[in-house]
Amino acid sequence: MKTFNYTIQDALGIHARPAGVLVKEVKKFESKITIEGNGKSADAGKLLAVMGMGIKQGTEITVKAEGADEDAAIAAMEEFFKANL
């Protein structure tokens, strides 16, 4: 299992547009990718679950990837979060 922590920079937090793009990015990988924050955890491949976490600007999250391509998945997720959120 690979993990990284990230503090959300986007003024709107994780909202519909970036959450939708995140889900598409997650679907590229075989690994199970989860997001933890605000005392909640969600499958990053499920749009409503991600949006339901209510993650706002300044919230620190932990992203976890577990599976056959976890190294590539966690690298891509870290790059995605830095570029989009």
Has 15 been annotated as catalytic?
yes
What is the rounded CA–CA span in Å between residue 54 and residue 29?
Answer: 24
Which position among 3, 4, 10, 15 bears the catalytic label? 15
Residue type present at position 21: V
φ/ψ bin of 59: left (φ > 0), alpha (ψ from -120 to 50), beta (otherwise): beta
State how far the Cα of 70 lies from the Cα of 16, in Å rounded to an integer: 25
Residues recognised as catalytic:
15
